Chains A and B, each alone.
Chain A
Amino acid sequence: MPPNPVTTGPKALIDASPTKDFFIHMLTRDIPLTRSILDLVDNSVDGAKRTRPDGNYDGLWVRIELNAEQFRIADNCGGIPVDVARNYAFRFGRQEGAKDTPGSMGQFGVGMKRTFFRLGRHFIVHSTTRNSQFTVDQDVDHWLADSDAPENWHFKFKKLETGLRIKEEDTGTIIAIERLLPNVKDTFALENFKGRLAEELGDAHALTLNSKLAITLNGLPIRHAPQQLFASQTLKPAFLEKAYSSQTLAGHRGPPVRVRLYAGVAERNIHDGGWYIFCNGRLILRADQTPAMAWGERHQMRAYHPDFAFFRGYAYFDSDDGSLLPWTTTKTGVDADSPIYKAVQREMIEMTKPVLTSLSNLARERATDGKEHPLETAITTARPTLVQEVAHPSIFSAPPPAPIPKGPKMQRIQYDKPAPEVERAKRMLKVRSFTAVGERTFDYFMKYEGGEGE
């Protein structure tokens, strides 16, 4: 039989369309629970940005409530316009022509939907803008039960009113998620989970909280640690400001990426030392100490070490075109292969180096028994300063450490003896410290048994 080629018509098509099940599974598998909630807060913050372009969010709020039965987030940040809901907000992925909030946190068009599916099987979105109101009330199981055909991927408005006149303070969005998934139920019942979420909310939205947006979790206000570095006449944090053109980064015209980097010392804390990375005001990486970022031989650097627990670095990436920023879709880390991050990473490393040298000097200064500790004094007497107040680009500077005292190489001796005997020796020697007991007994031995020395 001669071959019968079929390269046109329906017979030539191979079905590669996704099933809903697969889609939900892929979408939700990599996002931690806390992060999926942060995604909804990101949307509220973007709403606040649209409502108050001047960046003062005084009077705006986001309220999160969660328990083993229900998750609810409400805000008064302007609501979702009907056309945005109809054409963009509920679609999977961002499409060309989608309206942007300049400098927005939502970037990938997955956040809100992903959170619905991650948390439960029924979601209700109620939104009020200055001129419209709508409600979407969707049972996910029903949606899944419909076929996977493209026309069955729709959600439906339950209520829709347009042409209204509503006061700005009455606008906002309420999202409720019910029929929580079993593992989500269990987790939401834990007090510790709420503690962790509060912590992450405070970190992730530190800058927004600075701008007076009030975020609460089950009624408790979310607080945040300010981004501070020690500064004084003699101790100066490093600050670098740079803009990267969209043309160089992505090969097309568009808004640039503005980068601000700060590095210096702050309170010693082994867990808080490292780099903090923000994209459009959202913290995506906290206290990074890993080789993936700026530490270790990969970058010709030393690895993170307890001596460096004073170190703090803050990197702020901002752009009206969020696609240029180095975030991952889950906003849990940096896209280390993105051109902007690669370009900035070297600057971060170069800024880190002098700080680490100073901190190594500090460790050495502390280890020697000199009378003066200029470096330590400089650090302990400096004033914590908000990085936003560091005005002028500068390199890090700190006073040199105390010179290492000249003298023979010293050797530490350590031993244990019964306490009553040591106390007795202390009385006999008329000294107050155990160190003195050790030194005096050694001196005594050397005086009578040590002879003239070598």
Chain B
Amino acid sequence: MPESYRIVNYALRPAKAIERRMLCAAFERLYPFQSVKDYRYLGFGSIYFSDFQLMHRALGITDMVSIEKDVSAKPCLRFNRPFRCIRLKFATSSEILPTMRWSRRSIVWLDYDDKLNTEILGDIATVCLRAASGSVLVVTVNAHPDAEPPKDERDSYPEQTGQPFELGDYRLRLAKGLLGEKLPAGTTGADLRGQGVARVFRDVIHNVIEEQVSLRNIALPEGERVQYRQLFHFRYKDGAQMVTVGGIFHRASEEANFLACGFSALPFIRNGGDPCTIKAPCLTPKEIRHLNAQLPKKRPAFKLRVPGVPDTDVQHYAEVYRYFPTFSEVFFS
């Protein structure tokens, strides 16, 4: 199987692009902790380095580390690295994260293609234990419900499990296999359909972060104890259903800095189980220009108009227009 970046150009995933810009808009507000350009950015750049491009251009961050698990892609990645300041590390994140230095404030975006699993939770645990106060952790995982398996697998299911095949039961077994005892007690097969997987994964990630932070705090004096504040909870679907969860760690004594960031002023900030669902409607450049000319709305009740576009699409656009990517065909010569 080719790596996913050969199947889809990440830069062309509109919802993902919107998410990236929203995250960037939130990162801009970290300045009460320190100048944002002096943060370290840690991510999985792949060969497009879209997030790195944005974080370097928009935030001026120069301490950048991209982790790439595909060791055979070394020459390809080196060639595609857009800026000299990006350091490439070739190994899995679970190998790199525990051996990094964490004294610097970091923005860590663990942007996986995979379903949530124990290894990912291990990466999250590492960051929770090490991240300096003022650091941000963002985790994206695939939360697409498992499809019904092919017939031969369904036929052999009773033999392997002692149960007749049932989709919910099958999904629950897979989830149990991925998450073990971290799967919240009482989760049923019915919880793992549609948006349910995203809901469960968000809870699992959140619970692990809370647990790890509490473990970290045991050994710390009161003033140095670390708090985690959730800031991000996105759901979107450029193909597969994805869920993103994240937030900021700060020392209790730096509460004032956290408040000064004013994250709550951003409309996409979410502190709990309710997600910000990103929808990227398909619009023509002309429709976009037309809508932009009416935005931001004069009054909340103002009705945006553009011929032939469904109201829901117009509304979705109005929610994300500041972060909406424009794609066009360009002929290089």
A interface residues with partner B (beta carbon < 8 Å): 244-245, 247-249, 296-302, 339-340, 342-347, 349-351, 353-354, 357, 395-397, 403-404, 406
Contacts and interface: CB of A to CB of B under 8 A. Distances in A.
A323 B129 CA distance: 26
A129 B91 CA distance: 62
A351 B97 CA distance: 11
B219 A249 contact: yes
B132 interface: no
A248 B95 contact: no
B215 interface: yes
Interface string B81-98: 000000000011011001
A300 to B, nearest CB: 3
Interface in B92-118: 92, 94-95, 98-99, 118
B215 A342 contact: yes
B89 to A, nearest CB: 12
A248 to B, nearest CB: 5
Contacts of B212: 346
A231 B124 CA distance: 30
28 contacts: A249-B219, A297-B179, A297-B182, A298-B180, A298-B181, A299-B122, A299-B125, A300-B121, A300-B124, A300-B182, A301-B122, A339-B219, A342-B215, A343-B215, A346-B215, A346-B216, A347-B129, A350-B98, A350-B130, A351-B98, A353-B95, A353-B98, A357-B92, A357-B94, A357-B95, A397-B99, A403-B71, A404-B72
A349 B121 CA distance: 13
B221 interface: yes
B99 A395 contact: yes
A300 B219 contact: no
Nearest to B216: A346
Contacts of A299: 122, 125
A343 B221 CA distance: 12
A301 B98 CA distance: 13
Contact of B219 (A296, A302, A343, A350): A343
A245 B215 contact: no
A77 B99 CA distance: 45
A231 to B, nearest CB: 17
Contacts of A245: 221
Given A300-B119, A350-B126, A247 B221 contact: yes
A345 B215 contact: yes
Contacts, number: 73
A248 B208 contact: no
Contacts of B118: 297, 300-302
A354 B100 CA distance: 11
Contacts of B208: 300
Contact of A354 (B98, B130, B215, B216): B98
Contacts of B130: 350
A247 B223 CA distance: 13
A436 B205 CA distance: 52
B147 interface: no
Given A297-B179, A301-B118, A353-B126, 6 more contacts: A298-B181, A342-B218, A343-B218, A345-B215, A350-B98, A351-B98
Chain A at the B interface: SS class: helix
A74 B60 CA distance: 72
Interface in B39-94: 71-72, 91-92, 94
Contact of B122 (A300, A340, A404): A300
Given A300-B121, A300-B122, A395-B99, A353 B215 contact: no
Contacts of A349: 125
B220 interface: yes
A357 B92 CA distance: 9
A85 to B, nearest CB: 39
Contacts of A244: 219
A57 B182 CA distance: 49
A345 B179 CA distance: 20
Contact of B221 (A248, A298, A340, A350): A248
A255 to B, nearest CB: 16
Nearest to B182: A297
Nearest to A298: B181
B218 A339 contact: yes
Counting chain B CB atoms within 10 Å of each CB, the highest count among A249, A339, A357, A397 belongs to A357
Contacts of A343: 215-216, 218-219
Nearest to A347: B129
A241 B212 CA distance: 21
A346 B125 contact: yes
Interface in B207-258: 208, 212, 215-216, 218-221
Contact of A353 (B122, B180, B218, B219): B122
B219 A248 contact: yes
A408 B109 CA distance: 35
Nearest to A345: B215
A397 B100 CA distance: 12
A296 B121 CA distance: 12
Given A350-B98, A350-B129, A354-B95, A297 B181 contact: yes
Contacts of A404: 72
B131 to A, nearest CB: 13
Contacts of B221: 245, 247-248
Q: Which of B91, B182, B215 has the most CB of A within 10 A?
A: B215
Contacts of A397: 99
A325 B330 CA distance: 67
Contacts of B220: 248
Interface in B118-167: 118-119, 121-122, 124-126, 129-130
